[in-house]
Structure 1
Amino acid sequence: MSLIEVEDLRVAFPKAGVQAVRGVSLSIAEGECVAIVGESGSGKSVTARTLVGLTGPGATVTAGRFSVKGRDALRFGQRGWRRLRGRFAGLVLQDALVSLDPLRRVGDEIAEVLAAHDVVPRAGRAAKALELLEAVGVPEPELRARQYAHQLSGGLRQRALIASAIAADPPLLIADEPTTALDVTVQAQILRLLAARKAQGTALLMISHDLAVVSSIADRVLVMKDGVVVEEGPTARVLSDPDDDYTKLLLAAVPSAASRGTRLSAIATGGVSLRTPLPERKVDHGSPVVEVSRLCAAYGPRKVVDDVSFEVHAGETVGIVGESGSGKTTVARLVLGLMTPVSGQVRLNGTPWSTVSERERRPRRSSVQLISQNPLDSFDPRYTVGRLIAEPLGGPSRERRDRVAELLARVGLPADLMTSHPRRLSGGQRQRVAIARALAPQPQVLVCDEPVSALDVSIQAQVLDLLGEIQAADGTALIFISHDLGVVHHISDRVLVMRDGQVVEDGHVDEVFFLPKHDYTRELLGAVPKLVSAEL
């Protein structure tokens, strides 16, 4: 039975002059997973939200047919949609920390859904909330039910959100980027949980930019671009033998071992997506730029980095992988000189860095720059793009302006963005501004902490290509932290695998990923979803 049937769905925002969805048709049956993929702004999320009446204020929705369990959804008012949500469809969004109420305990959050839809009597809601937390694999549910969202790890928060979404036992789950920014093992757990719900007869609508995730769970896939479905069909066929050039470009943009040394932003020629080589990058194997020696760090009594050592040379990329809490970001903070180690040290160009005072470090701070996961959080919201990039620069204002224009051009952005505020830019544009800002003082080392984890596959490809070009031109050393092993294999020369603050395996990226020696490395690699597509 089709739970939802939509024909010729059109969604517009007249005040903004945007037609977000144009002529989309889809159906979702019980026990089926339908995925929608495409770039940011393609209309994926607007389509998904429209199916549960959450399109947003000012939107106009039309369709040739819009049926929910046989009822005409075009006739629903807000009250009708509120009765439907939760009971008919549960919504799982990308950022559980934003979705969950920060002032409410997790158990109370789930109990609210039980109360709103009269699932169980008041006296039984606390017990039912514990049952739901246990059902989604949350350990120690009694403890977690008493905690707030910020006290849980990313994986536990996402499970709590899923527990809330399934509390009224809806026949449909809409999952909008449910595994983005989760490490590979937690991602695998969430996907197993969603697959189990599907096996029990729940229908899934999956929105994702990760084609491997889609490949692992979806029965059918719709590829969207500019509000239009450009290709649809069985997942295995679309992701292994696509018809549309845009689908081919998306597949060519997926990073892997096979894409090393080439641009991910492929060119479509004669129905074929062609990757071109990146500029040659030379690694200086002389004296290292960064030397990390037996580094240990702690937060209070808890040791979070334990006896970590590695080197990074000019022009080299060292990847760091591991689960959340493994110590990756703490290593980055130590290299940046933002934390003082308990023991061991970091040396920069052969000179002590982590063991000296901030006064001694400050003249050399320009040598080490950070590119973070969410640049918007690191930007002063009052500053324009031009002021953000110019901040590390000295000299007369005209020279600074010329240098900002040069940096914007280098990261592929027009000079007229100088007067814009970052909040008005797309995610990809903001990340390019972050790179331009990091390049302004001409650093020797870029520390990249999950710099592409929240970007769709095509924008991710552009950012990774840009980093490759920068390295080839400047000989910049990269420390690249990511939970995406495909990205790390594509960009890195060497890789460190961290667990519980320690490096359990390190070496050349091909050696570690193709011939892992440690059980934990094998566990990480085994958790990576596989794309059914043939290598491009």
Structure 2
Amino acid sequence: MSLIEVEDLRVAFPKAGVEAVRGVSLSIAPGECVAIVGESGSGKSVTARTLVGLTGPGATVTAGRFTVKGQDALRFGQRDWRRLRGRFAGLVLQDALLSLDPLRTVGDEIAEVLATHDVVSRADRKARVIELLDAVGVPEPEVRARQYAHQLSGGLRQRALIASAIAADPPLIIADEPTTALDVTVQAQILRLLAARRAEGTALLMISHDLAVVSSIADRVLVMKDGVIVEEGPTARVLSAPAHDYTRLLLAAVPSAASRGTRLSAIAGGVSLRAPLPERHVGHGAPVVEVSGLSAAYGTRKVVDDVSFEVYPGETVGIVGESGSGKTTVARLVLGLLEPVSGGVRLNGDPWSGVSERRRRSRRSGIQVISQNPLGSFDPRYTVGRLIAEPLSGSSSDRKARVIELLGRVGLAPDIAGRHPRRLSGGQRQRVAIARAIAPRPDVLVCDEPVSALDVSIQAQVLDLLAEIQAADGTALIFISHDLGVVHHISDRVLVMREGRVVEEGHVDEVFFIPKHDYTRELLGAVPKLAPAEP
């Protein structure tokens, strides 16, 4: 018997005038992995949450049939759902830091599931917590159980969340973007962990915009668009020989070595032609950024050790490595937000590190940053127009005209200027961040995981936009990402970092196709592979 059977599921939010899910039908059998893919707003997460009674306040749920383990879920009240959650289905979300209670230790978080569902006696809970953390590969589980979520790395937090999800040994795990924010090696570990649970008979519903991840773990895939399933079938068939145009567009938007030099996003009319990107000139004279012998430490711990590289006008230098490898610290050093212990940074030939902020201030327009989470870097009180205008000079009318020009350049309508960032989608916010960053016409943009939180089609649009800006302005990019496909698509050269040091560097094709260092080979071996779509 299927664990879940749904026919003609519809989920609406009447106050917002939105029907998020329209006529979805699906089933999940024991031991099966079903994946749902699609853009942000396609209805993936709403569908998944509805299956465990977490649709949210103000939602109306109807279905021709909706059964959970043979029971009519349309008759469930909140008490019924609370009994099922944890015992029937464990939920693993994308951001473990938000999912885990910041006021409780990881051990207490897992123990709550054991107590709520009376899994083991009070006397045995502590030992069971340690067993669960050990089972999901958390090192020193006795120590980690006493720590809080903010004291753990992203990979350890995600493992702890999985331990909590499987604590009551549920027959179903719902994983909503469980690996999106993780580097490739930690992602591979989490996928192996989920696969091990499947091998023991646990069913898995995977929500993801990473088609390569889906291809590595799912038996069947459902493709959603605008609340409707537009295509479904065995994963190998759907991802290698898609029948629907929308599925083909999603696949065409996946960045890789094969997509270098071409557009990833669809053109008007929803057609992807992989058209050539505008020609970009890379200068070979004086570098815009020079990094020499750079080292940095937090307290007594050295986090960057003797890093050197140059970036030339119009060039893109990618930086890859695991979490904790020093990538973001290098970005902070280049931006002048952190002072090095030794070595230095030069911007346009002049010293950038080791000088006072007062001396740097007049030159800050030459180097700007695009971060992973623009909402966290924006003043929530400011409108979009004020955010973009902040680094601009000139009269009020000149600044206003420049804001409208910049919005148009990043593909946003002029009326966006009057809105606040929290009312924009993730893709819109990232476009605002780019508009703000290019407003003072910088020579170099430092991009720290700028597309890791975006779905594949929005990611494609942002990557195309950055390529257009480079071609038009000659802007150099330092591009930090854990997504090696993105880095291969966009970069000219790449640095591979491990434990604060650069272990390999060179042209991106040479490093990724003929890696010389064992660590580089390890990173590349951990990347999920997506079979190319048939023509």
Q: TM-score, normalised by structure 2?
A: 0.99
How far did 1:395 drift? 1.1
- CA 1:409 to 1:273, structure 2 compared with 1: closer, same or farther past 3 Å? closer
Instruction: Give distance in 1, aligned partners of 2:10 and 2:122.
Output: 41
Provide the residue aligned with 1:127 in structure 2: 127
Indicate the residue corresponding to 1:424 in structure 2: 423
- Code of the residue aligned with 1:530 in structure 2: it is K
Structure-2 residue corresponding to 1:511: 510
C-alpha distance in structure 1 between counterparts of 2:359 and 2:44, whole Å: 50
Q: CA deviation at 1:274?
A: 1.8
Provide Cα deviations, 1:274-327, integer angstroms capped at 9, x if missing partner: 210100001001110000001011111110000000000000000000000000
Whether 2:183 is the aligned partner of 1:146: answer: no
In structure 2, the residue matched to 1:296 is: 295
Deviation digits for residues 312-353 of structure 1 (CA, Å, limit 9, x no counterpart): 000000000000000000000010000110110100111111
The DSSP-based 3-state class of the residue aligned with 2:91 is strand
Q: Answer whether contact 2:32 2:219 (CA < 8 A) is retained.
A: yes
The SS at the match of 2:48 is helix
* Secondary structure of 2:9 counterpart: strand
Number of residue pairs the alignment of both structures matches: 535
Contact 1:259 1:490 in 2 (8 A): yes
Check if 1:358 corresponds to 2:367: no
1:191 counterpart SS class: helix
- Identical counterparts, % of pairs: 87
For residues 263-412 of structure 1, the aligned pairs below 5 Å read 263-267=263-267, 273-412=272-411
Partner of 1:23: 23
**Can you list the C-alpha shifts for 1:259-283, whole angstroms capped at 9, x where unaligned?**
00000013598x9842101000010
Structure 1 residues 513 and 474, CA, compared in 2 at 3 Å: closer, same or farther?
Answer: same
Cα separation, 2, equivalents of 1:431 and 1:304: 28
Does the residue aligned with 2:22 lie in a helix, a strand or coil? strand
Aligned to 2:4: 4
Q: What one-letter code is carried by the residue in structure 1 that aligns with 2:151? A: Q
8 Å CA contact retained: 1:249, 1:267: no
Cα distance in 2 between the residues matched to 1:533 and 1:295: 40
- Structure 2: how far apart are the matches of 1:152 and 1:116? 25
Task: Report the 3-state secondary structure (helix = DSSP H, G, I; strand = E; otherwise coil) of the residue aligned with 2:294.
Answer: strand
Alignment partner, residue 174 of structure 2 = 174
> C-alpha displacement at 1:412, in angstroms?
0.2
Q: What amino acid is aligned across from residue 407 of structure 1 in structure 2?
A: L
Aligned positions of 1:173-322 closer than 5 A: 173-267=173-267, 273-322=272-321
Measure the CA separation in 1 of the matches of 2:527 and 2:47.
Answer: 28
- Alpha-carbon distance between aligned partners in 1 of 2:236 and 2:221, rounded to the nearest angstrom: 9
Q: Given that residues 183 and 324 in structure 1 are in contact (C-alpha distance below 8 angstroms), is that contact kept between their aligned partners in structure 2?
A: yes
Q: What is the CA-CA distance between 1:534 and the residue it aligns to? A: 3.3
2: CA distance, partners of 1:457 / 1:186? 20
Alpha-carbon distance between aligned partners in 2 of 1:274 and 1:237, rounded to the nearest angstrom: 22
Aligned residue number for residue 466 of structure 1: 465
Answer whether contact 2:264 2:272 (CA < 8 A) is retained: no
Q: How far off is 1:356 after superposition? A: 1.2
- Given that 1:245 and 1:268 are in contact with CA atoms closer than 8 Å, whether structure 2 keeps it comes out as no
1:391-432 Cα deviation digits (max 9, x unpaired):
001111111000000000000000001110000000000000
Could you tell me how far 1:535 is from its partner in structure 2?
Answer: 7.2
* Contact 1:266–1:276 (8 Å) recurs in 2: no
Look up the match of 1:62: 62
1:454 aligns with 453
* Aligned-partner Cα distance in 2 for 1:535–1:381: 46
Q: Which moved more, 1:350-359 or 1:87-96?
A: 350-359
Residue ranges of structure 1 left out of the alignment (5+ in a row): none
The aligned residue for residue 46 of structure 1 is 46
Alpha-carbon distance in structure 2 between the residues aligned to 1:251 and 1:535: 11
Q: Are the equivalent residues in 2 in contact too, given 1:236–1:533 (CA < 8 A)?
A: no
| C-alpha contact (below 8 Å) 2:242/2:533 kept by paired residues | no
C-alpha distance in 1, partners of 2:267/2:448? 29
> CA 1:268–1:351 in 2, change beyond 3 Å: closer, same or farther?
closer
Residue equivalent to 1:492: 491
CA offset digits 1:93-148 (Å, max 9, x no partner): 00000000000011110000000000001111011000000010101000000000
1:43-73 alpha-carbon deviations (Å, 9 max, x no partner): 0000000000000000000000001000000
* Deviation string, structure 1 residues 357-379 (Cα, Å, up to 9, x no partner): 11111110000000000000000
Distance across 1 between alignment mates of 2:277 and 2:370: 21
2:159 corresponds to: 159
- Secondary structure of the residue aligned to 1:442 is coil
Find runs of 4+ consecutive structure 1 residues off by over 6 angstroms: none
Give the secondary-structure state (helix, strand or coil) at the position aligned to 2:362: helix
Does the CA contact (< 8 Å) of 1:248 and 1:272 recur in 2? no
Per the TM alignment, residue 181 of structure 1 is displaced from its structure 2 partner at its CA by 1.0
2:108 aligned partner: 108
Whole-Å separation in 2 of the counterparts to 1:458 and 1:290: 31
Alpha carbons 1:100, 1:149 under 8 Å: kept: yes
SS at match of 1:187: helix
Letter in 2 for 1:37: V
Distance 1:219 1:397 in 2: 58
Asked whether the equivalents of residues 245 and 273 of structure 1 are also in contact (C-alpha less than 8 Å), the reply is no
For structure 2, the 5+ residue unaligned runs are: none
User: How far apart in 2 are the matches of 1:527 and 1:356?
Assistant: 41
Query: What whole-Å deviation, never above 9, does each CA across 1:213-256 have from its counterpart, x for those lacking one?
Result: 00000000000000000000000000000000000000000000
Query: Contact 2:251–2:533 (CA<8 Å) still a contact in 1?
Result: no
Q: CA deviation at 1:532?
A: 2.3
Contact 2:223 2:229 in 1 (8 A): yes
Q: Secondary structure at the match of 1:20?
A: strand
Instruction: State whether residues 392 and 399 of structure 2, in contact with CA within 8 Å, keep that contact through their aligned partners in structure 1.
Output: yes
Taking structure 1 as the reference length, the TM-score comes to 0.99
Name the CA distance, whole Å, in 2 between partners of 1:466 and 1:72.
Answer: 48
Question: How far apart, CA to CA, are the structure 2 residues paired with 1:532 and 1:143?
Answer: 41
Once the two structures are TM-superposed, the CA of residue 475 in structure 1 deviates from its matched residue by 0.2
Q: Partner of 1:520 in structure 2?
A: 519
Letter in 2 for 1:160: A
Answer whether contact 1:291 1:346 (CA < 8 A) is retained: yes
